[in-house]
Structure 1
């Protein structure tokens, strides 16, 4: 049976989705847009553009979800004219009816949210000249790829909801996907997550989070 998904408004005026089975929101209720902008764009995408200035960016996202992270990344790829190949996995894609209700295009002055959600799964699709989307309907445990990535957005549900995704073996797998100097960003800064990342051989950095979130994490593959 498909999970019940509903749309709610967050404190910064952007929508998020709520998973009815877990009763967990896809983004912070204090502000979906400001969380994604801080954690994934400011701490992930912009530094990756700087570190790998001469290369197209291969980016892996754990959890396509609402498509907000992808849309923000597409917007910056187009603005800066930097090619991004965006690979994202999800086991339960958001139904199109709910995705079409999200207000991200109005909020961000973009027009591509529908194209991101309507793009077929399990193949690469050029959404714009600078952004190619490759959505895979598969779990992280089963996902394998020949790509190596400069950047990973780790946006799974919390360790209390999906503890199996925050363990050492999962971060070891992700570290194997990263190129040397590659980055992994996530909203969760719990001590157990930091320990798992370090045990996987990653260097962990704490950074200030968005409003109502003191710390978030960025990990680096040395």
Structure 2
């Protein structure tokens, strides 16, 4: 399938799959979407859930699973936020079809987010797959090349960034079967966030036992979803 590098509304670039008319990020702003969905309503929300007990957070490791490692944008933003908040992060990014380095080099995330983190962004993409690597003193990354249906973690993650391609082009990624896997992977009180707000997706999440809330969406989307594993 033909892949193009396009510029989104906030000036940040993303990859477009021409045949599907689908992008890795929102055409209304790749960085804006990532910050709104995964940082504000994901990482920062989870941080606040810990009641800002700074002495505990300083020594606690937060485990994050990203469904769709893609361009590494969410990973990069998470690393920078973790640095600011003094959080230790254990990050697993799952991707069936890794983006090529030549495509990554055409993106402008370093320029728009933090040029001082250029070497770190490059390291995120250059480290080998299938093994954990210490990217910075407080950020460990493991990239796994597999299909989402093959994830078999149990009670491992505090937070899931569900950033798969949209249900319009890959409906099989937004089913009860997939969300059962996500539920199993989450720890008790763990949180899943996604840009998607389709009613069928919300119902699939609820059917597996997740407690789901609708939230205001990023630019170009009215709503998004956040789900919690409650008992």
How far apart are the structure 2 equivalents of 1:11 and 1:221?
A: 34
Which contiguous aligned blocks of 4+ residues in structure 1 show a shift greater than 6 angstroms?
none
Deviates more, 1:153-162 or 1:50-59: 50-59
TM-score, structure 1 length as denominator? 0.95
Over aligned residue pairs, what C-alpha RMSD do you find? 1.3
**TM-superposed deviation, 1:95:** 0.5
Distance 1:191 1:31, change over 3 A: same
Who is 1:94 aligned against? 99
Who is 1:27 aligned against? 25
Unaligned runs of 5+ in 2: none
Who is 2:84 aligned against? 79
Who is 1:184 aligned against? 192
For residues 169-217 of structure 1, give each alpha carbon's deviation from its aligned partner in whole angstroms, at most 9, with x where no partner exists. Answer: 1111101111111100000100000000000100111111111211000
Who is 1:175 aligned against? 183
Aligned pairs for 1:1-222 within 5 A: 3-52=1-50, 54=56, 55-109=60-114, 110-111=117-118, 112-145=120-153, 148-222=156-230
Unaligned runs of 5+ in 1: none
How far apart are the structure 2 equivalents of 1:66 and 1:85?
A: 18
How far apart are the structure 1 equivalents of 2:78 and 2:163?
A: 14
**TM-superposed deviation, 1:146:** 5.5
TM-score, structure 2 length as denominator? 0.91
Query: Does the aligned pair in 2 maintain the 1:58–1:84 contact within 8 Å?
Result: yes
- The size of the alignment, in residue pairs, is 220
Query: Does the aligned pair in 1 maintain the 2:152–2:185 contact within 8 Å?
Result: no
**TM-superposed deviation, 1:21:** 4.5
**TM-superposed deviation, 1:79:** 1.2
3-state SS, counterpart of residue 141 of structure 1: helix
